[in-house]
Structure 1
């Protein structure tokens, strides 16, 4: 006979809520109960059918017997015994009535014992991964319970998203913004495969990310079980670290290595957790690990021979130009200070937009297809290029015709696409600091600040001319981004989508202390809204967050507006609605194809936002644009401004 204390739990406030002859599922602490009302008596049975685990509380009483909803087996609704004297009956629990309420007595729960999931989640948190985007489901419940315990301790924040792809993009954006990994979390099968695009976005943009997926139970792996996908093989090409957690694994070490690989290699790590392993107890000696003594500083100095070549090239330059990419984003204080010493204009790649303010005396804006004529002019007038943390993509168009020094922490990124005069391997801040010291008093460069101011004057005059364009088919993109330049908080995080809206954003928006997040190398449509969620997870309400999306991109993850509302994320979302996949139409024309299947049927995005609980407003003409955008930025919570735009005025 059990000596455990019996604890009574109210499971029904009013007996009238369960009529005669009916059953329902209730919970007493963590115990699932099938509560029955038959012949005037309330009874409590274990809710799990002993055969397939079917929820008996979802069944029915037929001909005096409780019938399992999954396979039709019968039980006595009061005693739980099956007909015919079989020994597969159901446990019952004591019931008492107090007034109109029903109480069920269950034994006091034993204290929680640390599981494999607990060990691994605690290790993950110790290594600094404390933001998780995901969906809880039937094959990750044990892991979810461990995440819940860490969140209740204040060590972790979990954001429940509406689509796993959005969770992966949010985690990718978090990694791009902070340099630290966040986790995305899914069930087996379709939940895991939905991560794939966002994981590739992180991988090709060198953002650290940790993917945690459920998996079917170990004993049915390989049998074609429901939602079974070979996730290790499926993730082999995208995850640099990719393993299945086993009962006999070194669990804390496995998680530590997963996070370590993500941080050091700036890549994707993936762990998949079979359902049965998640709740097992670890070996008694296993403890959660910390990163103490497990990770090295990254202050790598460049090799002497190539460093001397860089000093020689720069010391002979009269008109040096610095090009910075996304890889330099955490080192811009040192880069800008160096630029000021050597009078070098600073251009950025599109992914590096905003890393130097456009109103800085040496700032020349974006180079390439999404850029301004200012940046390209100074590249063409230069006699040496110092390229820092950039990859020489076709989109940027860094010329190979100028003497070039390239600095990067990754030796494989050096001279990746063509020969570089001086490929300089080293940590960026360390290398720039050494260049500053070594070039002291050795350079006699032209001060190009007045030329930069003149080129900006020419470009701004051109923008004013374009602002006058109006064909009567909606607001022009230049008008949208001119208004955004005036009204956006000066230090906002700007989340950029893909398409003509992104090209216009890069070309027309003038950055101040802004930080930009975008899907760079992958160029995945739909990035902006999930990225804003990742940004919020990183900065909370300490900085404003603005997302700009086209109508095509927003519809990819439109339901995540409800996530903004749920977690009170004060994101300001601007939708450029032109009823078309305008960039694709443009490419069809450029390729001399017919424009085909690029028109869109859209909802009223402002009304949709309001239906989710956010603020929403639609702008249909240029006259109302600036006042409406100003109103957008006065909203305290999530807010959506839909602008009806002219697809041809980009």
Structure 2
């Protein structure tokens, strides 16, 4: 059989390092799917394309390599959009093979016709269609290279009739990935050093761009006697082996991180694009270092902003920094952070209040999980509990939709993590809303025989949404969820499953759940009134909570108010 365009596409994907492709087959994708069966690329059949995008994205974030997903025309490839939007924001090198109608049917509003270039243009680093067989190799190479070098999603649109055409001789285009050293020039480094050397109370605020620069950041913090606050995405990079750690600022942060950033006189921003301007200091001198020039000064005005890789930049900056003497600012904040962590654990212990605390469940999982576990977290309370109360030790990794903020990424991401790391423990921390949104891919876990451990924090509602409504003075509106026993659901589809609703049973259940050799699901009925407490009480949410309380009492929900108060404030 003669070589087809589909074979060329798959050949380039293999050469670019693709090991897996997540998707659902369909008519316009059939020739490419056939070519994949003859390659070394593993095809993973999903139950929903969105879950496939989350899986591919998580694998790409963990390995740094290129991962593929593929779909049929129209709704098939369209279903990837939310997961790929999330992956693109997380700088995941993913390529989507979006198969398309045959060329003669395009432009006539044909059945299942979708203009993928318009749809994916905003959430990709490359998006183009192969119009003829003599473009196949060149455009596939361009897509792969863009995904790998620009760190994002590439979309390659392939009409079905093009994929079936005979391949033609093309120039031997191939994928090239370079890793240059990027740092500011000497004059810029001298300007930064002059500011830091004269600073008094200096805070380092690091983001996900700090990954791989641990030693240089610790040395800088030691030289400046600076506490290190971090964004939610910097947990893996900055929490392990860090005596200067003071946690996060922002709405899901803590008091120490919040005050460290607002009360410093000099702020060193490292690889952080933290979006909420109200959490930046109003009078401090701010120095920003980031690999992405678009990030410089876009959230808050900075005095000096430079482009550079954090590791290489700090290595060049360190010899220019003088040793600071006073440790009072740093030590006070570190102690405040540790005291806050102890208080949170005390508040969550069994018997302190009624019901099962989500914090306590999270801490138990943290205690009994393996030292190199990969955690995939749903947006909402599960990711907040994980970020606040689980240990990053340099071996573990945490994955969540912290930039896109979508529901349902937890279990789907765990599929991609487990496929590329079959020997490691993978745990999905799910909310009941997020888990049920893509519930069908529980069947993918069974079909692929993946030993993923899923825990559902089941509070019977869209918990984070309800907190937002209370802060606005609203009664609970459309947040209630009528859930089945998810443990029984798991058993019905072939997993180990169990529900726990008593505090005295939870520790043994967690141990048993994690000890299962195959996939297992633990459905935990957590306290529905446990809130995510911010690091401060702002006037507007406080007024909103007071309005909610008044409305709830007037509507005969005084018991709910009392339960909320006793669980979180008394």
Query: Under a length normalisation based on structure 1, what TM-score does the superposition of the two structures give?
Result: 0.77
Are residue 346 (structure 1) and residue 231 (structure 2) matched? Answer: no
Whole-angstrom CA distance in 2 between matches of 1:619 and 1:456: 32
Whole-angstrom CA distance in 1 between matches of 2:415 and 2:282: 38
Q: Which residue matches 2:271?
A: 389
Q: 2:283 aligns with which of 395, 398, 401?
A: 401
Greater CA drift, 515-524 or 389-398: 389-398
Structure 1's 330 and 147: CA in aligned 2 closer, same or farther, altered over 3 A?
farther
Contact 1:530 1:560 in 2 (8 A): yes
Give the deviation of 1:580 after TM superposition: 0.5
Contact 1:407 1:425 in 2 (8 A): yes
User: Secondary structure at 2:365's aligned position in 1?
Assistant: helix
Are residue 166 (structure 1) and residue 166 (structure 2) matched? Answer: no
Contact 1:243 1:272 in 2 (8 A): yes
Pairwise mapping of residues 19-418 of structure 1 onto structure 2 (< 5 A)? Answer: 112-151=1-40, 156-285=41-170, 287=172, 289-291=173-175, 294-357=176-239, 360-394=242-276, 397-418=279-300
Structure 1's 336 and 547: CA in aligned 2 closer, same or farther, altered over 3 A?
farther
Q: 1:569 aligns with which of 432, 450, 459?
A: 450
More helix by share: 2
Give the deviation of 1:354 after TM superposition: 3.2
Whole-angstrom CA distance in 2 between matches of 1:396 and 1:270: 36
Give the deviation of 1:320 after TM superposition: 2.6
Give the deviation of 1:423 after TM superposition: 0.7
Are residue 482 (structure 1) and residue 363 (structure 2) matched? Answer: yes
Are residue 642 (structure 1) and residue 527 (structure 2) matched? Answer: no
Whole-angstrom CA distance in 2 between matches of 1:187 and 1:478: 42
- CA deviations 1:8-28 (Å, max 9, x no partner) are xxxxxxxxxxxxxxxxxxxxx
Whole-angstrom CA distance in 2 between matches of 1:222 and 1:384: 57
Whole-angstrom CA distance in 2 between matches of 1:395 and 1:423: 17
Contact 2:280 2:300 in 1 (8 A): no
Whole-angstrom CA distance in 2 between matches of 1:263 and 1:606: 40
Q: Which residue matches 1:74?
A: none
Whole-angstrom CA distance in 2 between matches of 1:535 and 1:316: 45
Q: Which residue matches 2:557?
A: none
Contact 1:408 1:425 in 2 (8 A): yes
In structure 2, stretches of 5+ residues that fail to align are 532-570
- CA deviations 1:371-423 (Å, max 9, x no partner) are 22232243345332221111121299343432221111111111112211111
- CA deviations 1:445-476 (Å, max 9, x no partner) are 53767545532442133124412576986411
Contact 1:406 1:424 in 2 (8 A): yes
Give the deviation of 1:492 after TM superposition: 1.5
Whole-angstrom CA distance in 2 between matches of 1:436 and 1:254: 43
More strand by share: 1
Q: Which residue matches 1:109?
A: none
Q: Which residue matches 1:39?
A: none
Whole-angstrom CA distance in 2 between matches of 1:601 and 1:141: 40
Q: Which structure exhibits the higher relative contact order, with contacts defined as CA atoms closer than 8 Å and separated by 6 or more residues?
A: 2
Pairwise mapping of residues 545-560 of structure 1 onto structure 2 (< 5 A)? Answer: 545-560=426-441
Whole-angstrom CA distance in 1 between matches of 2:420 and 2:218: 25
- CA deviations 1:212-259 (Å, max 9, x no partner) are 111111222233433222222222222331111122442111111111
- CA deviations 1:32-80 (Å, max 9, x no partner) are xxxxxxxxxxxxxxxxxxxxxxxxxxxxxxxxxxxxxxxxxxxxxxxxx
Q: Which residue matches 1:72?
A: none
Whole-angstrom CA distance in 2 between matches of 1:125 and 1:522: 29
Aligned length: 530
In structure 1, stretches of 5+ residues that fail to align are 1-111
Query: Under a length normalisation based on structure 2, what TM-score does the superposition of the two structures give?
Result: 0.87
Q: Which residue matches 2:566?
A: none
Contact 1:408 1:424 in 2 (8 A): yes
Which of these two proteins has the greater Rg computed from alpha carbons?
Answer: 1
User: Secondary structure at 2:402's aligned position in 1?
Assistant: coil
Aligned-pair RMSD on alpha carbons?
A: 2.4
Whole-angstrom CA distance in 2 between matches of 1:445 and 1:171: 47
Contact 1:369 1:396 in 2 (8 A): no
User: Secondary structure at 1:521's aligned position in 2?
Assistant: coil
User: Secondary structure at 2:17's aligned position in 1?
Assistant: coil
